[in-house]
Amino acid sequence: MPEKKDLSPEVQKIVVGMQVNELTESVVYHRIAKRVKDQHNREILERIGDEEARHAKIWEGYTKVKVKPQKLKILWYSLLSRIFGFTFALKLMERGEGEASLTYRSIAHEIPQAEEIARDEDHHEEQLIALLDEERLRYVGSMVLGLSDALVELSGTLAGLTFALQNTRLIALSGLITGISATLSMASSEYLSSRSEGSHDTALKSGLYTGAIYLLTVAFLVLPYLLLPKEGYMAALLIMLGVVILIIVAFTYYISVAKDVPFLKRFVEMAGISLGVATLSFFIGIVVKKTLGIDI
């Protein structure tokens, strides 16, 4: 590497930060790669890790200092990869680099080729990340089906039952029976649908992903009715609707990062449908109770 002139203190600080970041991400990629069983994905992760280490070396040629990776950042993204999958964790990490173009422009007067180097590096990394093939992301369609159906159907059911029964225990009992039955129905329907489309190898997993997401959603939505006293049905309804919003935010954010799709449009669509059905069902519960004259 050719000799480079000393950097000003301000630029030195910026470039050292970039060097630490590249070195840290190299460790993250290599650590995650060790846990990945699929050879195709493991090789890509190792290649990106090597690229990040090479980038750190480039910046070291300018800073002339040795740096250490950020241990907390390594632990954080390693944990995220275990819980949410390596694609989500790595794309979130790459998003977290901030306004890189502003950083490169700020050092261009001392390192003229900085922006070009960074652009080439980022483009190569994006190409490699696009080649990753994580199993759970192949079943996003099944996960969306299970989640959206559970949110719409069960939030509507619980909202209607809230006014009709006015007893958290009865509402929870009815919601659990409905939710578990619907889980089995959705899982088997997804399995049969995948089989009929010729996806014999993935049909079972599609059904399991749909059922698992549906059942998990049922548990979260029914939980407020189980925890609050019998007369706290209205508070349970409000908490349940809040849980619906939180689930939609979390899942939509996960999909937007992992699949590179717009967040706001998907969130508004899912939230609007779920809350709209819940509101309509609540008023249906009022009408049905008044019409039939049932008092529980």
Collapsed DSSP state (helix, strand, coil) of residue 134 = coil
Residue 258 pLDDT > 70: yes
Beta carbons of 59 and 22 less than 8 angstroms apart: yes
Q: Which of 67, 73, 94, 65 is nearest to 31 (CA)?
A: 73
Distance, CA of 16 to CA of 24 (rounded, Å): 12
Distance, CA of 256 to CA of 152 (rounded, Å): 21
All residues at 6 or more sequence positions from 232 whose CB lies less than 8 Å from its CB, including other chains: 168
Nearest 5°: the CA angle 252, 75, 95 is 40
- CA atoms within 13 Å, Cβ hemisphere of 290: 6
What's the chain's average pLDDT?
81
Alpha helices in the chain (DSSP H): 9-35, 39-63, 71-84, 86-95, 100-107, 114-130, 135-138, 140-165, 168-196, 203-227, 233-259, 263-292
Q: Which residues of 31-65 are buried (b: 16+ CB within 10 A; e: fewer)?
A: bbbeebeeeebeebbbbbbebbbebbebbbebbee
Beta carbons of 276 and 152 less than 8 angstroms apart: no
Q: Which of 175, 172, 171, 154 is nearest to 162 (CA)?
A: 171
Q: What is the pTM of this model?
A: 0.71
**Between residues 110 and 133, the one the model is more confident about:** 110
User: Looking up tokens 């979130």, which residue turns up?
Assistant: 92
The pLDDT confidence band at residue 157, using thresholds 50, 70 and 90, is: confident
The pLDDT confidence band at residue 1, using thresholds 50, 70 and 90, is: very low
Q: What is the pLDDT of residues 62-80, one digit of tens each?
A: 888 999 999 999 999 999 9
Collapsed DSSP state (helix, strand, coil) of residue 229 = coil
| Overall residue count recorded for the chain in this entry | 296
